[in-house]
Structure 1
Amino acid sequence: MVDSLPFAKQLDQFERYLRSERNASPHTITNYRRDLKKLQDYCQQQGIERLEDITPSDIRLCLGQLHRQGLSGSSLQRWLSSSRSFFTFASRKYGLQLNPASGIRAPKSPQKLPKTLDADQTQQYLEISTDDWIDCRDRAMVELFYSSGLRLAELVGLDLAHIDMGEGSARVLGKGRKERLVPIGRFALKALQDWLKRRREIPLSDHQALFVSKRGNRISPRTVQQRLQKLSLEQGMDGKVHPHMLRHSFASHLLESSGDLRAVQELLGHANISTTQVYTHLDFQHLAKVYDKAHPRAQKRKTK
């Protein structure tokens, strides 16, 4: 027999379990609370008072209701995940026999293509003056983002020892703590050389970090984002440029020039090639123009 505690009390116990046994962050607990409140509201609307009375049909109906209210596919997936976790907890704590959210899938959101800079916009953005050491550092960071397709966390995590100036490469620690070797282009190498000379001017607290702040500590991700946004204004860009936009631009431009999807996957550190394939959609119009111009069966017949 399932414990007869009210739903709100069961949620309180689940929250305590997340905090004490799962060591979940306050942000994660807030998300669980928000998601399960939606389930609680649905049950109240339907007059469902006991956990064992919630069926897979109820989960699908609630999912459909949330979808009509405008929740995205990722939000619906998170709601389902929260519900599954709660029912798994309830099976152990209260003896619930069935997890009604098991096996149910959320509708997918339409895939959003990443925003990129074209070649001219990239050139405009990279023309950074190097009047002082901060500008010199910022230029080196921006050039490295675009040259090597780094993630924000990968760039701020770089140490001096990770850079091989002679070989023109960087050892990067990516997602899942997987290490990969990426090439550094000549413009980025020159920007790094200039930065390393100016770096000596700063009283350092962190002697290992490649990029440091005014205080001499390893630069923070938030500071990098703020500096790139400031550069967006100074360089007269149409919108804000962020680190991932430079990574996307690197991937798109490289794929457009080479057509080698596997090489781009390797350079980006993607575990699955399906993640890299999003960039093929970005270049479709360009490829279509090339096809129309080059393929003998695609060329328009000249009128006499």
Structure 2
Amino acid sequence: MSSNARQDQSAKKSLDDYLAVLATERRLSTHTLKAYRRDIEKLIAFMDQRGVMLWQGLNSHNVRLFAASLNSKGLNSNSIKRILSSGRGLAKHLVSKGALKNNPFDDVRAPKGEKRLPKTLSVDQIVSLVELTLDDPLSYRDKAILELFYSSGLRLSELCGIDLNDLDLSESILRVTGKGSKQRDLPIGAQANKAIRDWLLQRNVLPIKDFDALFISKLGTRISTRNVQARVQYWAKRQGVEISVSPHMLRHSFASHVLESSGELRAVQELLGHSNISTTQIYTHLDFQHLAQVYDDAHPRAKTKKPK
């Protein structure tokens, strides 16, 4: 076996070992692990092109050259930052295994880029979006989806993963499983609560195949993320919302509107499930009763009596 072949095999084994650790200890999703792999394979390819030995030749100088090469390819600062973060994690793993003496990424920073505020909808646009004409089971389902996105600030994957037993409609509480398999309890606004109850009555009309899933497709299987994205875009156009709308925009709108009304930044961070992000670690955890009170006082569509 040639030295290059042995090096490629060694690099692949190091990467596979590191991803296995991430999957086991941090319980990252398959999608996230694939993103880590793509990022680190860029680093491996760059080192290979320069004829640098892996991993002994991985030093701060080469890491800076790697970052510069990413910038020259037109990647934005956020993408470069993410790729360097993936490499930093791998290097830390290699240090723990004795394959590196120190982490060469510690002294390298990605170029700073402009901070762009996420796009949001106004309250009037939200009202226009969710006031659907209900004439078939799928329209009831879609109204419940739209209301719940805005009601509780869910991620797309969180909404699609909701099971019936995650709901407590009598108490207006929803349990969701977020990133890293972390669970959190969220309040459900009165409008969303009613929309879900109406959908559950219509749900039985469809040929149910996935009995656990709250939201199912017209074929009766758990609704997919792509299906939800398409339905949100469909209704935005049909309801006359003049900008492109995504599930993530509804999440941002939820956060922006509650924060503007309440000023409770820590509560919004908890509601969004950002506890694993380093920039939110300074915030203390708030109990659910406090979160629910902030939500009820601030959310534009929560100020209605709960259905009996």
The bucket for the TM-score relative to the shorter chain is: 0.7 to 0.9
Tell me if structure 2 keeps the 8 A contact 1:14–1:89: no
Name structure 2 gaps, 5 residues minimum. 24-32, 283-308
Q: Judging changes above 3 Å, is the alpha-carbon distance between structure 1 residues 270 and 78 closer, same or farther for their aligned structure 2 residues?
A: closer
Q: Given the two structures, how large is their TM-score scaled by the length of structure 1?
A: 0.74
Aligned pairs (5 A) from 1:36-185: 36-41=44-49, 43=50, 55-81=59-85, 83=87, 85=90, 100-185=104-189
> What amino acid is aligned across from residue 32 of structure 1 in structure 2?
I
> What amino acid is aligned across from residue 42 of structure 2 in structure 1?
R
Task: Give the match for residue 3 of structure 2.
Answer: 5
Tell me if structure 1 keeps the 8 A contact 2:274–2:280: yes
Q: Judging changes above 3 Å, is the alpha-carbon distance between structure 1 residues 39 and 225 closer, same or farther for their aligned structure 2 residues?
A: same
Tell me if structure 2 keeps the 8 A contact 1:91–1:98: no
Tell me if structure 1 keeps the 8 A contact 2:58–2:104: yes
Task: Give the match for residue 252 of structure 1.
Answer: 256
Higher mean C-alpha deviation, range 223-232 or range 166-175: 166-175
Q: How far did residue 250 of structure 1 move?
A: 0.7
Task: Give the match for residue 272 of structure 2.
Answer: 268
CA RMSD of aligned residues (A): 3.4
Q: How far did residue 141 of structure 1 move?
A: 0.6
SS of the residue corresponding to residue 109 of structure 1 reads coil
Q: Given the two structures, how large is their TM-score scaled by the length of structure 2?
A: 0.73
Name structure 1 gaps, 5 residues minimum. 278-304
> What amino acid is aligned across from residue 174 of structure 1 in structure 2?
G
Give the whole-Å Cα distance in 2 for the aligned partners of 1:194 and 1:113: 35
Higher mean C-alpha deviation, range 207-216 or range 95-104: 95-104
Once the two structures are superposed, what CA deviation does each residue of 1:195-245 show, in whole Å capped at 9, x if it has no partner? Answer: 111111122112221111112122122211111111122122223211111
Once the two structures are superposed, what CA deviation does each residue of 1:253-275 show, in whole Å capped at 9, x if it has no partner? Answer: 11111111122222222216945
Give the whole-Å Cα distance in 2 for the aligned partners of 1:184 and 1:269: 15
Q: Judging changes above 3 Å, is the alpha-carbon distance between structure 1 residues 21 and 180 closer, same or farther for their aligned structure 2 residues?
A: closer
Tell me if structure 2 keeps the 8 A contact 1:264–1:276: no
Q: How far did residue 179 of structure 1 move?
A: 2.4
Higher mean C-alpha deviation, range 109-118 or range 191-200: 109-118
Q: Which has the larger radius of gyration?
A: 1
Q: Judging changes above 3 Å, is the alpha-carbon distance between structure 1 residues 175 and 32 closer, same or farther for their aligned structure 2 residues?
A: closer
Q: 1:18 aligns with which of 12, 15, 23?
A: 15
Give the whole-Å Cα distance in 1 for the aligned partners of 2:274 and 2:54: 44
Q: Report the number of matched residues.
A: 268
> What amino acid is aligned across from residue 37 of structure 1 in structure 2?
A
